[in-house]
A = this chain, B = another copy of it.
Amino acid sequence: MNNADGNSPLRVAIAGLGVVGCGTIEILQKHSSELAVRCGRPIEIVAVSAKNKNKKRDIDVSKLRFVDDPLSLASDPEIDVVVEMIGGSEGAAKTLVETSLINGKSVVTANKALIAHYGVELAKLAEKSGVVLAFEAAVAGGIPIIKTMRDGLAANKFSRIMGILNGTCNYILTSMWETKRDFSEVLKEAQELGYAESDPSFDVDGIDTAHKVSILTSLAYGCAPSMDNIYIEGISRISLRDMRFADELGYTIKLLGISTQSDEGICQRVHPCLVSKLSMLGTVQGVYNAVFIESDFAGRVFLEGRGAGAKPTGSSVVADIMDIARGVKYKPFTLPVVAFSKSEFTGMDSLYGSYYLRLGVTDKSGVLAEVTKIFKEYNISLRTFLQHSHAPNENVQLVLTTHETQEANMLKAIESIARLDSVCETPFMIRIEEV
């Protein structure tokens, strides 16, 4: 073990006693003797802090030293590691992490928003103090994706990271299809069950997934995380109708976060995708997360596991604490900030892919000829064509899929198609991802 302090305990403070904070405490308490053997030293919880001391929780925290002001943990000489479980990219969480790092305390957090927005500044502080800033739990809950890229696949040049990174969205999409209900109804239920926040926009609008993609991009390609260069589209426009069409074509609809690097640059995007029902990603159900990592020597590696919840996320938090206890000490983004490459980002226009397009039309006999004429103009080749039965008072729904083409061309074609007289609804497009 690389532990200069021998068998002295690692003294940990936990700020924020929500779901993940409590899960972390549960593991540290339940497995304390095993963890001590595995780390070569004990891990001790020396203080906790939360907004409401007496709130009903799944675990008993009454025997732990309670501190009203979390910021006081950052200057407490009895604390080695501050575990930030407050959340949010600004305010108390940010101040606590900054101050702790400046004061020479290692920080473990599950806060993806904070790392996505301020990761570089915080990494600089950690490097300057020679302490650890670790955030395994920020991406994909119980799946150790960050450590896999940093350690297990460290010998590789990465080319594509792609995954289902938000359990709430995957739960909603899975449940919509299984129970044949529409988005708003399932969202309401998810909120009642506690799977979705009362303000669900971070999840369903794809922002949470984008935070995670920006972190994975940084780890994969050795650059600063960038939330400015990422295309984001959520799942709120996905309808059961599109799911039925997708199913008929052999696909299921998933919200994917995708980051690729090619000669043109890095492309980061979050949007709903049609993926094969039989593919690894297509079979990921409910709150599970999954990630594909493509690299030059290891090839394609796939990881699946629980993406959220007290226990899986707590498992990742404690793994980070164990790294510190064991003396395993990486830079926050593996590379030191000075070694980051200045990366070029590419937009969606240059994306090359296949597309699903649904059109609500009045006159079905003429429209297909007009659409294929437009496709031909933009050098787009039709792959499949599908038409569902429809109620007498509804528009006819035509569904087309294309072979691979450039997104810029596809968007121009859709603009032209939208102007056709017989097309009476806004055309709805979903990208098809071959996985």
Residues of chain A touching chain B, judged by Cβ–Cβ distance below 8 Å, are 1-2, 23, 27, 31, 34-35, 37-38, 136, 142-144, 147-148, 151-157, 222, 278, 280, 283, 295-306, 311-312, 314-316, 318-319, 322-323, 326-331, 334-335, 339
Contact = CB atoms under 8 A, between A and B. Distances in A.
B305 A299 contact: yes
A302 B307 CA distance: 12
A339 B153 CA distance: 29
Contacts of A301: 142-144, 303-305
How many of these chains are in the complex?
2
Nearest to A312: B298
A2 B328 contact: yes
Nearest to A143: B301
A2 B327 contact: yes
Contact of A302 (B156, B305, B322): B305
A322 B153 CA distance: 10
Contacts of A327: 2
Nearest to A325: B154
Contact of A278 (B283, B302, B316): B283
B31 A157 contact: yes
8 contacts: A27-B297, A142-B299, A147-B151, A155-B322, A297-B312, A297-B315, A300-B305, A303-B304
A-B complex: 10 closest residue pairs judged by Cβ atoms: A144-B152, A155-B318, A301-B305, A142-B298, A297-B315, A298-B315, A302-B304, A297-B311, A147-B152, A299-B306
A280 B302 CA distance: 11
A305 B303 CA distance: 9
A38 B335 contact: yes
A432 B305 CA distance: 23
Contacts of A318: 154-155, 297
